[in-house]
Amino acid sequence: MNTPRPEYPRPHFDRSSRWLNLNGQWDFAHGPDDPSDFPETIVVPFPWEHPDSGVMAHWLPTAWYRRHLDRPADWAGERTILHFGAVHHHATVWVNGQLAVEHEGGYLPFEADITDLLDSSGAGTLVVRVQAPADKRFIPHGKQRSLPADDYDGCAFTPSSGIWQTVWLEPRPPEYISQLDLRPTPALDGIEVTVTGPAPVRIEIPGVVVREYDELSGPVTLPIPEPRLWSPEDPYLYDVVVTAGEDTVRGYTGLRKVEWQGTNLLLNGVPTYVRGVLDQGFWPSAGHAAPSDEALRRDIELAREAGFNLVRKHIKLEDPRWLYWADRLGMLVWAEPPSTGRFTEEAVAAFEDVTAGMVARDGNHPSIVIWAAYNEEWGLDWDVPGDPAKQDAVRRAYRLIRVLDASRPVVDNSGWAHVETDLVDWHYYDDDATSWAAVVDRLINTADGSFPVRLGPDFVVDKVIAAPGFDPGDKPQLNGEYGGGSTSVERGWHLRWQTQELRRHPRNAGYIYTELYDIEHETVGIYTYDRRTKDLGGTVPSDVHAETTLIVDVTPHAPGRDLVVSSGSVTVPVRVSHHGSEPLVGTLHWSLSGAAASAPIDAKPFAVTDPIEVVVPVSRSGRLHLWITDSAGTTVARSFADVTQY
């Protein structure tokens, strides 16, 4: 068969000139005991619960993998290293019956030097035991369903157990590069390089600069005389080739700076409004594991086609290839670790381990502009405001990330109950257009940080933005999750009206719409689970999330009945929300049932215009179309409102 996921798995730490992909058919067996026979096969790297694995086994606590290894002949004299991208959850690895490595934690890579475990010809039998507990509440697992159930079981999905990222072999010398950290200089005129490995060291940015060092005791800076910055519009990447002793690794990064000034995100000093979407990293055929590299790329393209400039990868450390495509395609990323389900010292320690590993693994990616730690008190028993120990856990996670990487803002506990954070975000869901607008206005523009949160069908609690002792007043603020409606048409209607309310308030730095695509029973995506477009009742996501949008200044009634009016004429106030870098001078156009008119507009960046009165005659029910053209006649914004005559 063709090798699944054939591409090199970690382009940010690249030894792809010599490697051996071990994906494909492996022998497979169930049960807690060392099997005498492997009666099945499984396709690696796909979780055993999902179709692409060929197994489809559910709530299987222990399973065994086996395959034969043959070291390439030209690797003789070098060390042979076995790599696992990720295995959920507890992996024990033997080669020729001897223990090679044991690793706990389902999201981080691990490796083993198996040179001395192979036979004299370089061959061996690889056996992997994977233990995947049904009760996941005390381990980092994110949205994988647990038994007993997490408190958030209603939005959890089929688990992804076993080997779910690429397995491969690489040769390397006895002394080798173990870490390569790349960060842009504060002035964006060079790359700060930190190498953990032997000496001497040669560092090259191909075509730009070469430096050689007898030894390194800390970071060094390679200047770039004519720097080309990384941005969503121009995602330019610099390769960095490091040779330390006899080992060579190729990495890359981009020159960009992330800051928050006042109420705005600044990317390379340019104000950038966050138009984000939640992406949970599941696929219908393989759960946590993407079916192909193209699927990873396509998800980013789908987000961009829907008008988003940022993806919040929700409580999952994604396959590094996804981050690679975000870097290449210019998509901003909010990254966060998988959550636990309950609060214990052991659970907190496991969460902190995966959080530190996230920063170490992914810190070179220029696309990541926000780190986050906890989400909605998950793993904190919903009681951060009432428990100093849980406040300390949140504070410690925030500081852990800040110590490891001070170049990006950090969210401590996304949603509410912030303890110590660089960004104040809030999650608010409400299917009532009137109360949605009122609560959003209050949260953004007043000091009242309380709001209702529905934790279950009949369980609503009041949450607060700030935990005791934290003052959010001087922090940038943005919405971290929102969305409403049960059917696709309702989802489209709420998408249009709720987003315009967020765009109404200049103090709001942006938003994260929930979500990009459906997952199993959760049908709230812009796309279906298999990434097809939906009928959203005429709402076009790329219009809603455009750089320039229209705010129809009315309180809508219901889908298909935004405005209910009698015969005669109707006056609709319309504002313009513009987040371009330059003023927009153009024309607002409108039409209803054949009647059309226009008016000039002059929209300033990161501001909302005064209302423009759109007056239209109403002779029958119809759709009021609104659009803006710039001075060149190009359409830059679109919206509509459904008018019902009674």
Confidence band for 646, pLDDT divided at 50, 70 and 90: confident
Measured distance CA(267)–CA(418) in Å, rounded: 24
Say if residue 456's pLDDT is above 80: no
- Ranges 285-294, 449-458, 604-613: which has the least confidence: 449-458
Q: What is the pLDDT of residue 423?
A: 96
Measured distance CA(468)–CA(279) in Å, rounded: 31
Confidence band for 14, pLDDT divided at 50, 70 and 90: very high
Q: What is the mean pLDDT of residues 393-418?
A: 97
Q: What is the pLDDT of residues 341-361, one digit of tens each?
A: 999 999 999 999 999 999 999
Average per-residue pLDDT for the chain: 96
Say if residue 157's pLDDT is above 90: yes
Q: What is the mean pLDDT of residues 398-417?
A: 97
Say if residue 643's pLDDT is above 80: yes
Q: 453: exposed, middle or buried (C-beta count within 10 Å: 0-12, 13-18, 19+)?
A: middle
Say if residue 95's pLDDT is above 90: yes
Confidence band for 459, pLDDT divided at 50, 70 and 90: confident
Measured distance CA(513)–CA(29) in Å, rounded: 42
Confidence band for 570, pLDDT divided at 50, 70 and 90: confident
**639, 552 Cβ separation under 8 angstroms:** yes
Q: What is the pLDDT of residue 260?
A: 87
Say if residue 1's pLDDT is above 70: no
* Percent of residues, the chain, with pLDDT higher than 70: 100
Q: What is the pLDDT of residue 263?
A: 84
Q: What is the mean pLDDT of residues 120-124?
A: 97
Say if residue 304's pLDDT is above 90: yes
Measured distance CA(178)–CA(175) in Å, rounded: 9
Beta pairing class for 190-196 and 220-223: antiparallel
**128, 101 Cβ separation under 8 angstroms:** no
Measured in whole angstroms, how far is the alpha carbon of residue 231 from the centre of its chain? 17
Picking from 212, 177, 207, 180, the residue whose alpha carbon sits closest to that of residue 193 is 180
For residues 194-212, one letter each, b for 16 or more C-beta atoms within 10 angstroms of the residue's C-beta and e for the rest, the string is ebebbeebebbbeebeeee
Q: What is the pLDDT of residues 176-219, one digit of tens each?
A: 999 999 999 999 999 999 999 999 999 999 999 999 999 998 99
Measured distance CA(485)–CA(488) in Å, rounded: 8
